[in-house]
Structure 1
Amino acid sequence: MKQPTKNTMSKRVIAIIITAVAVIAIAAGVALAVHRHHATSQLTEAKTACAQAADRLRVAQNTYNALINGDEYKSAVKITAKQVEDSKVVTALAKDSGDEAPKMVACNVDDKTALERNTGLIDKNTTWYETHTKTIDTDVKNVVKARDAKTLKDTQAALVKKITDAKKLYDASNGKVKDNKTRDALKKQLDTAGKLKDGKDVKKIKDAQTGLDKAMKTVNNSVKAKQDADKKAAEEQARKEAEAQAAAQANAQAQQQYVAPQQSYTPTYTAPQYTAPAAPQYTAPQQTTPQYTAPQQTAPKPAAPAAPSTGGNTGGGPVSGGHGCGSLCTSAPTDTYDR
């Protein structure tokens, strides 16, 4: 058997060394590749975790923002302590709404440690938003509930008072309305309101109060209408009575004016008829034949004046021998007129 030479052994050693070095290099490369792959995988996992945390934070933020931008929250924060039965709920809502939101944290880093730290902060912020959303939502509901409770209580009290006023009006208006149907309508509204005064539906209670208001207004208008009608009738009656009285007074005055001249005229008119100046005017003409009055007053001879009246002689001469009136017939008128 041929023995290997020294040169051959050296080559073989070199080959072995080279092979070993190659194996080591390959192993180192593989190890480095594995390490690099593991580091890259961990970074990727960290980025994924941070991104997922950011998504959860985004959802929590959106829910929180939807709450505080909603109509219910905006309405609740306007409610004052005077509008609720317990003012503590208003204080709690104001306090929780005043808490400052956390600062934003991003995932745009390439360091696994930094990503893990930011992911923790993001999760913490998510918890804050979720907690405050629940807290503020509870506060809002408490405030609204307290407001509604006081509103119901006040509405019930207002309806009770309105019922009392309506009953007084119903009783007082008996016989004083122009149309009694208005009182019937008010009575119907009173019956409806009486059934709702202890109810829980604020709208129905307010509707009942509105119904009473309208019915009471109708009754009051009817009362006023009757008062106006009665006043007008009274004024018309007073006018008629005044006119009648004025007519009576005018008639009385007319009668007084007509009678008074008669009373004042009669004495002045009758005095001339019966006084001395009237005697010559009426008595002297009546004595148209002086033959009857003058002889009776101057001569006691009845036979002498009888001759002219029986003889029918209308002349101036005597029937028998120159006897007759003589100087007596001519003197009698003279004596009479001389008087």
Structure 2
Amino acid sequence: MEQPTKTKNAMSKRVIAIIITAIAVIAIAAGVALAVHRHHATSQLTEAKTACAQAADRLRVAQNTYNALINGDEYKSAVKITAKQVEDSKVVTALAKDSEDEAPKMVACNVDDKTALERNTGLIDKNTTWYETHTKTIDTDVKNVVKARDTKTLKDTQAALAKKITDAKKLYDASKDKVKDNKTRDTLKKQLDAAGKLKDGKDVKKLKDAQTALDKAMKTVNDSVKAKQDADKKAAEEQARKEAEAAQAAAQAQANAQAQAQQSYTAPQQSYTPTYTAPATPQYTAPAAPQYTAPQQTAPVQPAAPSKPSTGGNSGGGPVSGGHGCGSLCTSTTDTYDR
């Protein structure tokens, strides 16, 4: 009877050993599975963090490119350009509108949850796209504005130079024989020829330099014209002064001559009466005396002569014949003598 009992106990021990072994195997398997699960979860988290970090790096590059653009000189210059400075004001409006868009908010990767990391990674990628898109858009806007400004500047500069050439030609023609130094007109002509060759050029700087050179040459000509006008005016004033002095001297000389003539004319007038009266008596009485006295010497020889004229018949005799032609003068003299 002892044999079966031993066999039964042995079987019981084997079953217990098998159960223990199975439990151990299950425990090991569970541990392994748990370890595998944990490893997989850790790996996925690591991968999510890596992906988020890579997205953040791409975002950082896009941000730097965008910031370099809007902080650059070209953009700063473009945003100052007004609608009046360009041919088409729409480009200025577009740049202003695109520049007003707000940049997205920052998203971080400093989380330990795989799902949160994946969500943030998606937001970061979206922000990167915004920066890249706006960089291209604003860069295009800036180029359009600058191009529109340069186009209008070129046309305006060409028009200004053309007008300056026209004005310079007018000045060149009008200043002929009116400048003090004709070299100034020669210089203006040279600048006119040079500007004429450049007027349709595309180099704004050269066009402006040509206009500046014309301005300088025109100023020189105008200064020379004024210098000649001043010199002519001074010469005319000097000539007028000399003529006035000569006229004044002539007038003074004439006045002096008139004064001297007046003095020499008045002096004879004071002596005219004695000069005229003194010779009048001798010129009148001197001939009468000889005519009167010559016949009076024979009067005593013929005392009867006075009675003969009353008869009217005696035409002879010296005294009577000598008296012809005397008239009343002889009679008057005879009467005086008889008395």
Shift of 1:7: 2.1
TM-score, length of structure 1 as denominator length:
0.75
Cα drift, residue 295 of structure 1: 15
Moved more, 126-135 or 101-110: 101-110
Taking the aligned partners of 2:122 and 2:271, their CA distance within structure 1 comes to 134
1:5-34: CA deviation from partner (whole Å, max 9, x where unpaired)? 222222221111111111111111111111
- C-alpha distance in structure 2 between counterparts of 1:35 and 1:295, whole Å: 205
Residues matched between the structures, number: 330
Question: 1:104 offset after TM fit, Å?
Answer: 1.2
Q: Is contact 1:304-1:324 (8 Å) kept?
A: no
User: How much does 1:66 deviate?
Assistant: 1.0
Taking only the aligned residue pairs, the percentage that are identical comes to 92
Contact in 2 for aligned 1:159/1:197 (Cα 8 Å): yes
Distance, in Å, in 2 between the alignment partners of 1:305 and 1:124 is: 182
| Unmatched segments (≥5 aa) in structure 1 | 270-274
Equivalents in 2 of 1:102, 1:41: separation in Å? 31
> What SS does structure 1 have at the residue aligned with 2:74?
helix
Q: Bigger CA drift: 317-326 or 101-110?
A: 317-326
- Alignment partner of 1:262 is 2:269: yes
Aligned to 1:102: 104
Q: What are the within-5 Å matches in structure 2 for residues 1-339 of structure 1?
A: 5-243=7-245, 275=277
Query: Per-residue deviation at 1:132?
Result: 0.2
Deviates more, 1:240-249 or 1:192-201: 240-249
Instruction: Give the direction of change, closer, same or farther, for the CA distance of 1:247–1:201 in structure 2 (3 Å limit).
Output: farther
> C-alpha deviations, 1:205-224, integer Å up to 9, x for none?
00000000000000000000
* Runs of at least 5 residues in structure 2 that lack an aligned partner in the other structure: 246-250
Residue range with higher mean Cα deviation, 97-106 or 222-231: 97-106
Mark the CA change 1:9 to 1:118 in structure 2 (over 3 Å): closer, same or farther. same
Please state whether the residue corresponding to 1:318 is helix, strand or coil.
Answer: helix
Q: Distance in 1 between matches of 2:271 and 2:65?
A: 117
User: 2: CA distance between counterparts of 1:66 and 1:337?
Assistant: 158
- 1:25-62 deviations in Å (ceiling 9; x for gaps): 11111111111000000000000000110111111111
- Sort the Cα spacing of 1:16 and 1:192 in 2 relative to 1 into closer, same or farther, 3 A: same
- Structure 1 segments, 4+ long, off by >4 Å, are 1-4, 244-269, 276-285, 288-331, 334-339
C-alpha RMSD of matched pairs (Å):
9.2
> Distance between the aligned counterparts of 1:321 and 1:258, measured in 2?
49
Distance 1:188 1:324 in 2: 110
Inter-CA distance 233–257: structure 2 relative to 1 (3 Å threshold): farther
TM-score normalised by structure 2 residue count: 0.75
Are residues 50 and 104 of structure 1, via their aligned partners in 2, closer, same or farther at CA, if it must alter by over 3 Å? same
Look up the SS of the partner of 2:323 in the other structure. coil
Q: 1 CA distance for matches of 2:139 and 2:323?
A: 170
Where 2:133 maps in the other structure, the secondary structure is helix
Contact 2:192 2:214 in 1 (8 A): yes
CA distance in 2, matches of 1:192, 1:319: 126
Q: Is the 8 A contact 1:294 1:336 kept in 2?
A: no
Displacement of 1:96 after TM fit? 0.7
Contact 1:96 1:135 in 2 (8 A): yes
Equivalent pair of 1:305/1:325 in contact (CA under 8 Å): no
Alpha carbons of structure 1 residues 320 and 113: separation in structure 2 relative to 1, 3 Å: closer
Change in CA separation of 1:291 and 1:302 when aligned onto 2, cut-off 3 Å: farther
